[in-house]
Structure 1
Amino acid sequence: MSVVHETITPTTETHVAPVLRVANLRVGYRVNDQLTPVVRDVTFDVAPGQVLALVGESGSGKTTTAHAVLGLLPGNGEVTGGSITFRDQVLTELSAKGWRSIRGRAISLIPQDPTVSLDPVRRVGHQVEDVLRLHTELDARARRERVHELFELVGFTDVERRYRQYPHELSGGMRQRVLIAAAVAAEPDLIIADEPTSALDATVQKQVLDLLDEVRLRTGTSVVLVTHDLGVAADRSDLIGVLHQGELVEFGPTARLVADPQHPYTRRLLDSVPSRRPWVRDRTPVAVTTETVIEVDELRKDYGGVPAVDGISFRVRRGETYSIVGESGSGKSTTARVLAGLTEVDSGRVALLGTDITRLSRREFRPLRRDVQIVYQNPYSSFDPRFDVYDVVDEPLRSFEPRRGLRRGRPNRDRVVAAMEAAALPADFVDRHPRELSGGQRQRVAIARALVLEPKVIVLDEPISALDVSVAAQILDLLRGLQRERGLTYVFISHDLAVVRAISDRVAVMREGRIVEQGTVDQVFSSPADDYTVRLLDAIAGRDLIGGLS
C-alpha cells in the first residue's frame, strides 16, 4: 500500500531534535508459534510540545503502535523491526529495568477507560502519589502537597476531599482528571493518550481535552493522541497520522490533511463523518405524514425517589426521525425503555399508535410489540449466547407465532432471510454465530431482528456509538434507506450531536430528566434557545474542520 507522507518541520526552529522518533516500526503478535504482523514500517517524529494524532479504525494498529512506544505490548506481542528513539535513548533496546526508569517519569500514559484504570479499593490521592514515590525524592508530606497541586491543576476544588475519595465516588470525567494528574505528576516529556475521552459525554470530553491542552501548554509536554474520532483529531492535533491495516497511509499537518486528503482511505474516513453523508442535505423522509404515532404527556419515572424522567411531553409523526439527545443521566434511555414497553411509568400518559400504554400490563402490551421494536447500543449483549444468527432473527417470530415456531426445521427461513437482506446481510450468515461477526455485522443482525415482524416504530438506543466511523456511516445509510422504503418511524437516542444532526427531522434536548428544548433540526442546531443546548453544540469536536453542523 502506498503512503502519503510529508516531511514535517515540527517547530519553527529547524534544528530542534524530536522528542520521539519512530522509524520503520514493525510489530507482530505470536499465536500458536506463528507471528502475525500488525504494524508495518511505521515512521513518524514528534517534536517538543507537539500533538500527533494517530487515527484509524479498530484493527488499524494505532493502539499497538502506542503500546510499543510505551513498552507495554502484551506477552505475545513483539517489535520485529525498526526502532523507537526517545530523546537519545533507543527504547527498543531497553531492559525491563531501563523501562522502569523511563515509564511514568519521562513517558506516561493516559489510558482509555477511567472506570477500570484506577484501583477501586485505594484512595485516588494515594494512587497519584505512587508516581511521585517511584520517580521523585519527595517525602510523604511533600508528596501529599504535590498531589494537591496536581488536583488543582486538573481543575478540582476541595482538593483534600478529592485526595481522600475512592474511584466509585467520582464521575467518569473526574476519574479521567485523576488519570491526567497521575500522567503529568513526574513532569514527563511525552504523554501517550490512548482514546482518553471515548467513554465520555461531549461536554465532559471537551473539558478533559481542554485540560490536557492547558497542561501541555504549561509544561511543554508532547502528546501522542490515539483516537478513532476525526473531530477530536482535527481540533486537538498539530499532525495527523492515518493508520490502515497496520500501515501509516498518510501523514501531515492537520489542517492540510483534513482539507485536502491524498490517500483514498483518508478520504473514505472523512466522507464517513455524519455531516458529510450525501443524504444530509435532503433530510426529510418521503413518507412523513401529519399522523401522530407517539404521544407523550407529562411522563414521569422515578428511581428510589429521584426523577429519571421528570414531566416530559412530545409528539412523533409517522415516518419521521425524532431524536432525543443528552448526556449520561439525562433520562433519554429511560424514555426509550418506556416507549418500548420495558419500563413502567409513575405518572403521565404515553400513547403508541393510538393506544394508551400507561396502565397496560405486560400481557396487555404484548400485541403492540409487533409494531414497536428496539435496537440496543450493544447488540451482542442482547443476543442469547446459545443462538446462531438464524435463531436471533427468528426469535420474535417464534414468540409471536408459536405454532409455526414449533415445527421441525426452520419454517420461517424465508422471512428471516428477507429481514437479513433488508439489513444488508448475506443469506448464508444464518448459520453463523454472532461471535464470528464484526461489530457492524452484529448491529445489522439486531436491525434484522427488529425488522422481521415488520414494525411501524423502531426505538434506536445509541445504535452506532460503539462502531467505527465508516461502519457507523454504513448503518446510518441503511437506516435511512429502510425508513424511505418502509415508512418507518424512528425514535433515535444518542449523545452524539453530529449524528443527530445528520439523521433527524426533529430533536429534543434532555437534561436531568427534563426536555429543555425541542424543535426541528434546523431550529435547534442553528438557533438554540437554551444555554445548555448551546454548550452541547459548542462541545462538538471538529465542527469547523470536518464540515460544520450549522
Structure 2
Amino acid sequence: MLVVENLNVAYKVNRRLKPTLHDVSFSIAPGEVVALVGGSGSGKTTTGHAILGLLSENGHVTGGKIMFRDQVLTELSPKGWRSLRGRAVSLIPQDPTVSLDPLRRVGEQVEDMLSLHSNLDAAQHRQRVYELFETVGFRDVELRYRQYPHELSGGMKQRVLIASAIAGEPDLIIADEPTSGLDATVQKQVLDLISDLCRRSRTAVVLVTHDLGVAADRADQIGVMEHGRLVEVGTPDQIFNSPQHPYTKRLVGAVPSRVAVPVRDVAAVEKREPAITVTDLHKSYGDIEAVAGTSFEVRHGETFSIVGESGSGKSTTARVLLGLTEATSGSVSVLGKDITQLDRRGYRPLRQDIQIVYQNPYSSFDPRFDVFDVVEEPLRAFQPPQLPWKRKKANRDRIVAALEAAALPPSFADLHPAELSGGQRQRVAIARALVVEPKILVLDEPISALDVSVAAQILQLLENLQKERGLTYVFISHDLAVVRAISDHVAVMQNGQIVEQGSADDVFSRPSSPYTQKLLAAIAGQKLVHL
C-alpha cells in the first residue's frame, strides 16, 4: 500500500538546508502496523509528516519518493493533497488538547471531516458522527457530540481524534504518539481500537512512538530510527531478541520490563522513622471528593509510589503534601509537622525541605530565564532582596553544584531551556529542586514524556542521588513498569481511595485488588516478557 524509498528531508535554517532524514526506506501492506521508534530528534515524526505532506513551511523533501498505491505523494499538488488527505490517508495527532478547537463542540469538529469527504446532508452527518463515536467506545453519543474538549478526559479527547481520523474510512493512518501521556487502561482501550480497525477494515497504520512496549505489543514490523536514519527494521521478535545495530541494543536494554528489578531491603526501610504520615485524608471540590480517606506512611530514604488512572486522586494528594492545596479533613505530617494545622506562612519554612519535579519541565520554566535563573529561582525565594549581580555571584557555586549533581556541566548555566533536549530540561528541573538541599522530592510523572533511553538515564540519576543524599521520593506515575523497577512501597488509588498498598514486590507479584489486577493486565509490553 505504501512504499517509502530513499526519502531525504531537510529544513531551511538561516537560509541553509539542514538535512534531517537520510535515505529512509520501508513499506507497509494493507492491515499491517509498522512502528517507528527512536529518541527525540531521530526523525520518526518528520517521516510521518512527510508521508502526509504536512512538513512545516521550511521543510522540504530533497530526495527519494513516497508511493501510495499508484500515486507518487511527493509529486502531489496542494489540490491533490486536499482530495487525498482525510479520505485515503489520515492522521491521529499526539496532543488532543492542542489539536481540538476549544470553542467548538467535539461532534461538530468530527463533522468537518464528513463535510469535506462525503455527500451526506446535515442530518446524516450527525447520525454518522454518532456511529463513529460508538465505534470508538463512547456510550452516550448524543451527550458526547454536544460536549466541548474541556469537558472530556485525555482518553476521551484522543478517541474524538480517532473518530475524526477514521471518518473518511482511510486506507492508511499515521498515528503520531496516539497514547502518549494516557493511563495504562485508557492506552490499552485506544490501542485495541486501532488494532480492531486494522483487522476489520484492513487499514494500514504507521505508529510513531517512543514506547517500545507499545511497539512490541502492536506492531508487525518495527523500524528503529537514529539521527534521521532507519538503522534497523524487523519483527518484534527480531528487534528485541536479536538486535543488530548498537543503538537498537541500547534502546532494548533500557526498556523497564527488561531491566533487572533491584533487590530492595524493604525490611530495613520499614524500620526507619516516617518522613510523611497521612491519616484519613479528605479533599473535596464542591460536591466532588477528589481524595476520600487515604492513609499511608513514607519512610526516610525510600521511594514511595502512588499509581492510578487520571482522576484517581494521586496528584491532588501530592498537592496537599506540598502545601499547594488545603486538606478538607484528616492529618498530614511532613517531617514531624502537621501541615493541616499550618497556614501558608507557617508552611513556608518546610518548602526548602520538600520540592517538586514536574511532568513537563519546559512549561514550568519562565521562558525569559536562562538555566542559571531557572535553577536559582528557589534560592531567591528564601533570600533577602539584594542587587542581582551580588546575588548571582553569591549563588553561583550552589547553582554549579546543583547542575553537576544533575549530571549537567556548568556551561549549561548560560543556555536557555529552548536550546535543550527533553532529557536535559528534566535534569535542569531536578537541579532546580536540589539547589535548596531538600529532604523530600515529589516526582510528578517525571519521565512520561521522555524516550526510553533518556528515561533510563533520569531514573539512574535519581537512584544515585537518593543513595548519596538519603532523599525521600514520592513518585507519582501511571507507568507501572517504571514503578516496579524503582519503588520500595506502592499505593494504588482509585476514585480517591487507596485500594491496595504494600511492598512493590507484593503489589506487582501478588495483587489482591481487582482494580490492581486490571491495571497490571493493561501494561504495554506484556509480550516483552516472552520475546
The answer to whether TM tops 0.5 is yes
Q: Does 1:237 align with 2:241?
A: no
Match of 1:7 in 2: none
2:437 to 454, 466, 491: 454
Match of 1:472 in 2: 455
Q: Does 1:421 align with 2:443?
A: no
Moved more, 268-277 or 206-215: 268-277
Match of 2:235 in 1: 253
Q: SS where residue 295 of structure 1 aligns? A: strand
Match of 1:511 in 2: 494
Moved more, 219-228 or 383-392: 383-392
Provide closer, same or farther for how the CA distance between residues 435 and 285 of structure 1 changes in structure 2, counting only shifts above 3 A.
Answer: farther
Alpha-carbon distance in 2 for matches of 1:421, 1:285: 30
Whether the 8 Å contact between 2:291 and 2:496 is mirrored in structure 1 is yes
Whether the 8 Å contact between 1:377 and 1:461 is mirrored in structure 2 is yes
Match of 2:52 in 1: 70
1:59 to 41, 44, 50: 41
Moved more, 535-544 or 476-485: 535-544
Match of 1:502 in 2: 485
Alpha-carbon distance in 2 for matches of 1:505, 1:444: 23
Q: SS where residue 97 of structure 2 aligns? A: coil
Cα shift at 1:191:
1.2
Moved more, 462-471 or 380-389: 380-389
Whether the 8 Å contact between 1:325 and 1:508 is mirrored in structure 2 is yes
Q: Does 1:225 align with 2:210?
A: no
Provide closer, same or farther for how the CA distance between residues 491 and 170 of structure 1 changes in structure 2, counting only shifts above 3 A.
Answer: closer
Match of 1:170 in 2: 152
Deviations 1:331-379 (A, max 9, x none): 1112112212222212111111222221112222222223222222222
Alpha-carbon distance in 2 for matches of 1:177, 1:403: 50
Cα shift at 1:302:
1.5
Q: Does 1:525 align with 2:508?
A: yes
Match of 2:288 in 1: 306
Alpha-carbon distance in 1 for matches of 2:275, 2:387: 30
Whether the 8 Å contact between 1:172 and 1:200 is mirrored in structure 2 is yes
Whether the 8 Å contact between 1:323 and 1:493 is mirrored in structure 2 is yes
Whether the 8 Å contact between 1:287 and 1:484 is mirrored in structure 2 is no
Q: SS where residue 326 of structure 2 aligns? A: coil
Cα shift at 1:391:
3.1
Cα shift at 1:21:
0.5
Moved more, 419-428 or 307-316: 419-428
Amino acid at match of 1:41: D
Alpha-carbon distance in 2 for matches of 1:401, 1:460: 25
Q: Percent identity?
A: 70
Cα shift at 1:134:
2.4
2:415 to 421, 427, 432: 432
Cα shift at 1:103:
1.2
Whether the 8 Å contact between 2:40 and 2:451 is mirrored in structure 1 is yes
Provide closer, same or farther for how the CA distance between residues 121 and 265 of structure 1 changes in structure 2, counting only shifts above 3 A.
Answer: same
1:99 to 63, 68, 81: 81
Amino acid at match of 1:212: I
Cα shift at 1:251:
0.4
Deviations 1:431-470 (A, max 9, x none): 3333332222222222222222322221111111222221
Provide closer, same or farther for how the CA distance between residues 62 and 304 of structure 1 changes in structure 2, counting only shifts above 3 A.
Answer: same
2:143 to 150, 161, 173: 161
Match of 1:3 in 2: none
Provide closer, same or farther for how the CA distance between residues 127 and 391 of structure 1 changes in structure 2, counting only shifts above 3 A.
Answer: closer
2:262 to 268, 272, 281: 281
Whether the 8 Å contact between 1:322 and 1:505 is mirrored in structure 2 is yes
Alpha-carbon distance in 2 for matches of 1:389, 1:373: 18
Matches within 5 A, 1:94-243: 94-243=76-225
Deviations 1:370-398 (A, max 9, x none): 32222222223333444333333333334
Match of 1:8 in 2: none
Moved more, 240-249 or 322-331: 322-331
Match of 1:262 in 2: 244
Whether the 8 Å contact between 2:180 and 2:449 is mirrored in structure 1 is no
Deviations 1:118-174 (A, max 9, x none): 333333333333333322333444433333332222222233333343333333222
Alpha-carbon distance in 2 for matches of 1:396, 1:138: 58
Alpha-carbon distance in 2 for matches of 1:461, 1:330: 14
Q: SS where residue 211 of structure 1 aligns? A: helix
Moved more, 428-437 or 479-488: 428-437
Cα shift at 1:97:
1.6
Alpha-carbon distance in 1 for matches of 2:243, 2:116: 44
Provide closer, same or farther for how the CA distance between residues 285 and 473 of structure 1 changes in structure 2, counting only shifts above 3 A.
Answer: farther
Whether the 8 Å contact between 2:221 and 2:233 is mirrored in structure 1 is yes
Amino acid at match of 1:513: G
Q: SS where residue 447 of structure 2 aligns? A: coil
TM-score if structure 2 supplies the norm length? 0.94
Whether the 8 Å contact between 2:225 and 2:232 is mirrored in structure 1 is yes
Match of 1:12 in 2: none
Alpha-carbon distance in 1 for matches of 2:465, 2:214: 31
Whether the 8 Å contact between 1:397 and 1:452 is mirrored in structure 2 is yes
Q: Does 1:22 align with 2:4?
A: yes
Alpha-carbon distance in 2 for matches of 1:254, 1:421: 38
1:328 to 287, 307, 310: 310
Cα shift at 1:70:
0.8
Whether the 8 Å contact between 1:259 and 1:545 is mirrored in structure 2 is no
Alpha-carbon distance in 2 for matches of 1:527, 1:372: 32
Whether the 8 Å contact between 1:230 and 1:542 is mirrored in structure 2 is yes
Cα shift at 1:329:
1.6
Alpha-carbon distance in 1 for matches of 2:28, 2:503: 44
Alpha-carbon distance in 2 for matches of 1:122, 1:390: 41
Alpha-carbon distance in 1 for matches of 2:451, 2:525: 16
Moved more, 386-395 or 459-468: 386-395
Moved more, 470-479 or 452-461: 452-461
Whether the 8 Å contact between 2:266 and 2:503 is mirrored in structure 1 is no
**Bigger proportion of residues as helix:** 2
Match of 2:24 in 1: 42
Provide closer, same or farther for how the CA distance between residues 436 and 126 of structure 1 changes in structure 2, counting only shifts above 3 A.
Answer: closer
Provide closer, same or farther for how the CA distance between residues 409 and 420 of structure 1 changes in structure 2, counting only shifts above 3 A.
Answer: closer
Provide closer, same or farther for how the CA distance between residues 439 and 287 of structure 1 changes in structure 2, counting only shifts above 3 A.
Answer: farther
Cα shift at 1:546:
5.7
Q: Does 1:365 align with 2:347?
A: yes
Alpha-carbon distance in 2 for matches of 1:131, 1:385: 36
Alpha-carbon distance in 2 for matches of 1:141, 1:453: 61
Provide closer, same or farther for how the CA distance between residues 427 and 286 of structure 1 changes in structure 2, counting only shifts above 3 A.
Answer: farther
Amino acid at match of 1:57: G
Alpha-carbon distance in 2 for matches of 1:317, 1:222: 50
Alpha-carbon distance in 2 for matches of 1:499, 1:420: 24
Alpha-carbon distance in 2 for matches of 1:136, 1:528: 50
CA RMSD of aligned residues (A): 2.2
Moved more, 366-375 or 88-97: 366-375
Q: SS where residue 58 of structure 1 aligns? A: coil
Question: Structure 1 unaligned runs (5+)?
Answer: 1-18
Alpha-carbon distance in 1 for matches of 2:68, 2:165: 17
Match of 2:467 in 1: 484
Alpha-carbon distance in 1 for matches of 2:156, 2:380: 46
Question: Structure 2 unaligned runs (5+)?
Answer: none
Provide closer, same or farther for how the CA distance between residues 171 and 372 of structure 1 changes in structure 2, counting only shifts above 3 A.
Answer: closer
